[in-house]
Structure 1
Amino acid sequence: MTTDPAAAEEPEPGTPGDGAGGDAGDPSATGTGDAADGGEGSAAASGEESSSAGEGDAAAGELSEAEAAMAAQRELRERIERRKAEKQGPVEAGGKLSGKAADLLAAVRAVESGEKPAAGVFGEQEPASRRPAPEPVRRPQLVTSSVAAPVAAETVDAVRAVLVEGGAPDALAPQAAAVLGEGADAALREDPWQLLRLAGVRPEQADGFARALLGAECGPDDERRGRAVTVWLLEQAALVGHTALEASTLSTALAQRSVPDPDAAVQSAIAEGDALVFQDALDDTGAPAPRRQQADDEAEEGEGGEQERPVRVLIGLERNALAEESLADGLARVVNSLPKEDGSATDWESAATGPATELIRAVAGHGLVLHTGGEASRAEPAALVAAARAMGLRVCAATHTVDGRSRFAALLAPAETRDEAARPEESVTTVAGLLSGAEGPGRDPDGMLRTDLLVVLDAPQLDVESAAMLAESLPDGARLVLSGDPGGLWSAGPGRVFADLLAARVCPQVASRTPDPGPIGELVSGIGVGELLQVDAPGKEVVIVPVRDAGEAVHRTVQLVADSVPRAIGIPAEQTQVITPGHGGAAGTRALNAALKERLNPGPGRFGGFDPGDRIAYTPTPGRTVPGRVVKADAEGLHLECVGAPVVVPKERVEQTVRHGWALTAHQAVGLRWPAAVVVLPGDAVQALTRPWVYTAFSRAEHHLSVVHGVEQALPRAVAELPAKPRTTRLPTLLTAQVPAAG
């Protein structure tokens, strides 16, 4: 490795473990975590990540499919809630605002556009202040739903009057009216802290609004404030992946937000039905005890024993609790229901050949099977799908992204041409397309998917809600295979479904023995076990480009994409993807996209900052990012080509859903791969680095990986010492109550 500027034009073989002179920088310069826009935290976690969940078909950008997706989700949520009982729109452009109103509108738009939610709420420190990087274009806003219910103009006008009276920007009126519904103006007057239900509003901003409306009646001990802040904290927790919070954690966070009596605030939220409370027994190690063990303990106590186990008290939002419980119910039904008459043991045994032998045998005898492995291991579920179709079963496979769907379909093609009788009933789908009904086998009159075997690739990207909808949609007797790489980033939305299932051990787990090939595969495999290996890269498959500061990182990145990689490696700029930890900062996606556009496709940005030929990242719905290019703009809107399909984004939605896409965050890149990737690690990115982040970013490259390295020893330290940030979930406990332990 060399630091000679002249030699910088040609990438040099090396390993990220070499380290490079870097600028420690401000840890906040990554600005936003990478949790939204297609997977960063979620606007489903608008703050992401986000994660997350899967991308739909590129054609899914059309409004009709978005409507179908929302309708399907509403219907499935209603079914979930019925089973448990047998037991919102875009922010309009603001006018000339200043002071408190401008700050409030900016905060709302920051979260809606994918900013990280409330840093410092649950164990993360508030970033130090710094000078922000200049914005190259208007930042898109990630709206909370693509199809908002119409709101009467009179309601919006009434809400606008209340907002103005309280010093809040009137541009928030449509969103407030949509979220709070009819009578929103009266609701805000009665309880001004209801403003916290709008994405991006923080407690201190809601406090200012309340003071303006209530005057002397406003105080930190107001029961309404405590209840609203409790719900807001639970929402923030959901944005970073938790499905519930331990009561002690929630109480600490409430105290940090100047709630004088946290316990009373939590009790008020529970009494009003805004939150639910759960108690899970703990085992001797302090971990949640399986429900079977809890039942045994209760039986012993009932017989006169004095055994008492400690419990953990969890507080969660109703929608996450219902989804997690419904998911456990659905998976238990899949595990416990007998398979249909779908082939004899001889048929399955004869199909069990090659690397997929173990997987096929596991699926033959079980309703739920987990399969783990890297990119090369996808050949095994492909062989399973081909074998099941050859036996006449109805099989559906679903991936996280359109790109993943194309790659999996390509694996299936040669397997199925070997047996002409193996004709697929339906094509491979995306998870979003399958749930919306836009893709896949369709549903029977009972709303169940017409399939005997569902294989879900990229399973770590399933959040509890999408996983629950899939499980609820499977008919009795259908088999479910969840396949994915456990080393990567988790879902954008709440939960860690795949990791929880692996930990619960309620079904067979098949670990692939097929390694990813080449130096990149070797490097990524080492990262997965916590080692940053020095790999031999004779063909310059892995190179290191050391940088001293963020400005140099941007310069070298542009040089790599535009000159060095095409000349030395032979991969053109349009097949090279830049990946960086966050949107903000001096070397975040916004700064890098501005520099790359200036070099690769300069133009005035006549349509919302975009020109024909611009690479873009399109977010038709929260948690889904589709890469594409700008074709043209006209009165209809911005015309895109996304994975070969045309998409027209109406003018009023361009700012909300389209970003430049030469540079993405790792969460946005989940499920996608490119011939070459340039991973940018400026000195101010240290706090964003974890082993799953590095694993995901490095594994996006198929043939060539360049690492613009400015974090010195923080990179090997992150790989060795920083696993995924923990998420509080209840799925393992819920599952063990209903599913016998796997042998």
Structure 2
Amino acid sequence: MSTPETPEEPKSAADDAPAEGAQVSEAEAELAAQRLERERIERRKAERQGPITAGTALSGTAADLLAAVRAVESGEKPPATVFEEARPAPRRPAPEPARRAPVVSQGPAAPAEGTVGEVREVLAQGGAPAALAPPAASVLGEGAARVLRDDPWQLLRVPGVRPEQADGFARALLGGETGPADERRGRAVTVWLLEQAAPAGHTVLEMAALTEALGRQGVPAPEDAVRDAIAEGDVLVFQDGLGDDAGEDGGEAAESEEQPVQVLVGLERCALAEESLTDGLARLINSVPKQDGAGEDWERAAAAAEGSAGELIRAVAGHGLVLHTGGEAALAEPAALLDAAHAMGLRAWAATHGPVGRARFADRVDGPGVATVAGLLSGAEGPGRDPEGALALDLLVVLDAPQLDVETGALLTESLPDGARLVLSGDPGVLWSVGPGRVFADLLAVRACPQIASRRPDPGPLGELVSGIGVGELLQVEAPGKEVVIVPVRDAGEAVHRTVQLVVDSVPRAIGVPAEETQVITPGHGGAVGTRVLNAALKERLNPGPGRFGGFDPGDRVAYSPAHGRTLPGRVVGADDEGLRLDCAGERIVVPRERVEQSVRHGWALTAHQAVGSRWPAAVVVLPGDAVPALSRPWIYTAFSRADRHLSVVHGVDQALPRAVAEVTAKPRTTRLPELLAPQLPTTPA
């Protein structure tokens, strides 16, 4: 497991929401379902027997932290001194996988107006913006004002607040009573760093990485800060083995030797969601699928399918969990599986990352049965749930599987009925989820179930280019139909000019793709050639207007983010007293006035994360000189593969592009799924 990078600066949902969304009511329902799922996980945690067990002996800081957890679990306050070395204890045996009925969402509760008013008064005394009052009241609950007076650094629990801002708020409230060594600050910054690590993909952080980050935030005693956070129940600590459980001699000799371990610290919601996901996956892997079709029917369907599509059907016939990998052309294989399942009378559904992908995949299958993951979980789409609370289906095919984080994955697996089959299908070369975990990549690495790799390559020059990037080579492809065009630029100003020229004139004239079907993709929102600058320039040419409603006019292309990690491309159709009216992939959405600024951006230009799960007839990928630090093989693979017919690359990074393709792989993420899943797998290969 690789050491994670320092958690990045937090972003708003509109800043870094790489997937599509749905209507406001759907988003609220999904968020409520996630909150209730976390409550279920907390109840499950309370039912666990005994303390967290260790695999080996620890000493020093690691032993101190582990002992702190044990003391907390026994109801004691852990001492500040170094504890005695813990004796090795056996691993907790893997429980029998069992499905738990999901809790039905009743919708999120808004904070009381009186609570918001009290919080607003405290914020004013500390010089903090009044706009933070509603989110602070929502996060901190009914006694939010008292919480902030007692511990001003709890303001860090509000999304978007940084330590230096919380420090200023604390100084204004407490005066000379506060300082960098205040234990309340250390605890709050510990939690804040883990909260920033979650959107970066980490479910936990290694102890060394966390204490180093605390030091950079001015916490004078990082280990003490982590111990205090554990004692207060703000975070959880784990230790996982790094080596084999036994040496070649096995038995007693291996048991008497100390095995290398790592100490991991994580947020309760992430760590326990990962455990819940593990239970759900183990139930699928170890279960026998429902006998919902004669074996000869499955074999007949497999024989009628082509190549790896037949292999996929055969694997699904006999297994509860199957992984499928491939690019855009490979979507024909899960489509063939879905059609075969429908022909056998099964309740089969596919779920995509967002509505654009849903519409594209629906064109490949006969009949209904395609939803979005968010719509499926919220109940806005899909088959609904049976009396036990499970989804009323026999087979679920989840497309865009690399976008699953552990919380969404836990909700999905817990929602499947006994005997159901789950297929996770996706392109392993694209960017991972914006959210904790790397579920698809971890499962591919563990090899816990059948894996079917498509042998169906994406066609043409674009397919050849993207396939080369996937294996670390930037190929010079022949493009007689101008499928791929490189446009070199010298500076940021020229990059903006050429991008607008391509979208407005060159691509429509030479390729025949209109501007409204061409998507610009750039590495970030800020900078001289970020989405903000490019969207302003494109709006001026394509839909000039005064921006009467929050900077938007009817006809503007937008990116709507109803929740963090989800983006829905759309268009403004109007505005009134209720809010901004959007058409997003055929869905009519009203965004309330107070949410427009934080959840809607202009959408002629997107980041690659926002573009995941969607494709357009033409794409213009902009690589300005200041984009070099953001470039990686997954980013380039994702951006270049968003084009169906034509790709223009506005190229200002010289040799950094082939170097990134060859050398810069995905950023490491620290997760526990492989370690948790291993004890629950069958002893023989699937």
Q: TM-score range by the shorter chain?
A: 0.7 to 0.9
Counterparts of residues 158-169 of structure 1 (less than 5 Å): 158-169=118-129
Cα deviation code 1:477-511 (max 9, x no counterpart): 11110000000000011110000000111011110
Asked if structure 1 preserves the Cα contact closer than 8 Å seen for 2:14 and 2:601, the reply is no
2:125 is equivalent to residue 183 of structure 1 = no
2:483 is equivalent to residue 523 of structure 1 = no
Which of 202, 210, 213 aligns to 2:162? It is 202
Q: Which amino acid aligns with 1:250?
A: L
Cα deviation code 1:676-734 (max 9, x no counterpart): 00000010111110100000000000000000000111111110000110000000111
Counterpart residue number, 1:466: 408
Change (3 A) 1:637 1:298: farther
Question: 1 CA distance for matches of 2:659 and 2:256?
Answer: 47
Normalising by the residue count of structure 2, what TM-score does the alignment of the two structures yield? 0.87
Asked if structure 2 preserves the Cα contact closer than 8 Å seen for 1:580 and 1:666, the reply is yes
Which of 51, 73, 86 aligns to 2:18? It is 51
Asked if structure 1 preserves the Cα contact closer than 8 Å seen for 2:11 and 2:160, the reply is no
Q: Which amino acid aligns with 1:273?
A: G
Which of 377, 382, 389 aligns to 2:330? It is 377
Asked if structure 2 preserves the Cα contact closer than 8 Å seen for 1:581 and 1:665, the reply is yes
Question: 1 CA distance for matches of 2:443 and 2:286?
Answer: 15
2:392 is equivalent to residue 450 of structure 1 = yes
2:240 is equivalent to residue 280 of structure 1 = yes
Counterpart residue number, 2:361: 408
Which of 303, 313, 321 aligns to 2:263? It is 313
2:314 is equivalent to residue 361 of structure 1 = yes
Q: Which moved more, 1:526-535 or 1:633-642?
A: 633-642
Q: Which amino acid aligns with 2:42?
A: E
2:37 is equivalent to residue 76 of structure 1 = yes
Counterpart residue number, 1:337: 287
Q: Which amino acid aligns with 2:18?
A: S
Counterpart residue number, 1:393: 346
Following superposition, the deviation at residue 211 of structure 1 comes to 1.8
Question: 2 CA distance for matches of 1:68 and 1:178?
Answer: 16
Q: Which amino acid aligns with 1:639?
A: R
SS in 2 for 1:486: coil
Following superposition, the deviation at residue 183 of structure 1 comes to 1.9
Question: 1 CA distance for matches of 2:517 and 2:656?
Answer: 29
Asked if structure 2 preserves the Cα contact closer than 8 Å seen for 1:50 and 1:491, the reply is no
2:170 is equivalent to residue 218 of structure 1 = no
Change (3 A) 1:47 1:596: closer
What's the % identity of the aligned pairs?
73
SS in 2 for 1:354: coil
Q: CA RMSD in A?
A: 2.2
Which of 49, 57, 64 aligns to 2:25? It is 64
Which of 255, 266, 269 aligns to 2:215? It is 255
Which of 201, 204, 210 aligns to 1:244? It is 204
Following superposition, the deviation at residue 601 of structure 1 comes to 0.9
Asked if structure 1 preserves the Cα contact closer than 8 Å seen for 2:282 and 2:680, the reply is yes
2:602 is equivalent to residue 660 of structure 1 = yes
Change (3 A) 1:437 1:148: closer
Counterpart residue number, 1:733: 675
Question: 2 CA distance for matches of 1:717 and 1:595?
Answer: 30
2:377 is equivalent to residue 435 of structure 1 = yes
Cα deviation code 1:577-619 (max 9, x no counterpart): 1000011111111100000010111111111111111111112
Counterpart residue number, 1:106: none
SS in 2 for 1:678: strand
Following superposition, the deviation at residue 642 of structure 1 comes to 1.3
Q: Which moved more, 1:727-736 or 1:626-635?
A: 626-635
Normalising by the residue count of structure 1, what TM-score does the alignment of the two structures yield? 0.80
SS in 2 for 1:562: helix
2:226 is equivalent to residue 271 of structure 1 = no
Asked if structure 1 preserves the Cα contact closer than 8 Å seen for 2:14 and 2:564, the reply is no
Change (3 A) 1:305 1:521: closer
Q: Which amino acid aligns with 1:323?
A: A
Question: 1 CA distance for matches of 2:233 and 2:209?
Answer: 20
Which of 509, 513, 528 aligns to 1:567? It is 509
Q: Which amino acid aligns with 2:461?
A: P
Asked if structure 2 preserves the Cα contact closer than 8 Å seen for 1:508 and 1:742, the reply is no
Following superposition, the deviation at residue 362 of structure 1 comes to 1.1
2:269 is equivalent to residue 327 of structure 1 = no
Cα deviation code 1:511-549 (max 9, x no counterpart): 000000010000000000000000000000000000011
2:482 is equivalent to residue 509 of structure 1 = no
Asked if structure 2 preserves the Cα contact closer than 8 Å seen for 1:297 and 1:307, the reply is no
Q: Which amino acid aligns with 1:193?
A: W
Unaligned runs of 5+ in 2: 1-5, 49-104
Following superposition, the deviation at residue 82 of structure 1 comes to 3.3
Question: 2 CA distance for matches of 1:212 and 1:407?
Answer: 54
Asked if structure 2 preserves the Cα contact closer than 8 Å seen for 1:282 and 1:312, the reply is yes
Unaligned runs of 5+ in 1: 1-32, 88-144, 284-288, 414-423
Question: 2 CA distance for matches of 1:646 and 1:170?
Answer: 32
Question: 1 CA distance for matches of 2:532 and 2:558?
Answer: 12
Which of 541, 564, 580 aligns to 1:599? It is 541
Counterparts of residues 519-558 of structure 1 (less than 5 Å): 519-558=461-500
Following superposition, the deviation at residue 269 of structure 1 comes to 0.5
Question: 2 CA distance for matches of 1:309 and 1:603?
Answer: 66
Asked if structure 1 preserves the Cα contact closer than 8 Å seen for 2:430 and 2:637, the reply is yes
Question: 2 CA distance for matches of 1:613 and 1:218?
Answer: 52
Change (3 A) 1:430 1:497: same
Aligned length: 620
Q: Which amino acid aligns with 1:69?
A: E
Question: 2 CA distance for matches of 1:482 and 1:194?
Answer: 39
Q: Which amino acid aligns with 2:482?
A: K
Asked if structure 2 preserves the Cα contact closer than 8 Å seen for 1:382 and 1:411, the reply is yes
Asked if structure 2 preserves the Cα contact closer than 8 Å seen for 1:42 and 1:623, the reply is no
Following superposition, the deviation at residue 427 of structure 1 comes to 2.4
Which of 588, 609, 627 aligns to 2:530? It is 588
Q: Which amino acid aligns with 2:189?
A: V
Counterpart residue number, 2:113: 153
Question: 2 CA distance for matches of 1:400 and 1:66?
Answer: 14
Question: 1 CA distance for matches of 2:313 and 2:38?
Answer: 33
Change (3 A) 1:147 1:165: farther
Counterpart residue number, 1:126: none
Question: 2 CA distance for matches of 1:298 and 1:313?
Answer: 27
Question: 2 CA distance for matches of 1:510 and 1:42?
Answer: 36
Question: 1 CA distance for matches of 2:596 and 2:195?
Answer: 27
Change (3 A) 1:149 1:297: farther
Following superposition, the deviation at residue 457 of structure 1 comes to 0.4
Question: 2 CA distance for matches of 1:219 and 1:263?
Answer: 18
Following superposition, the deviation at residue 146 of structure 1 comes to 14
SS in 1 for 2:601: strand
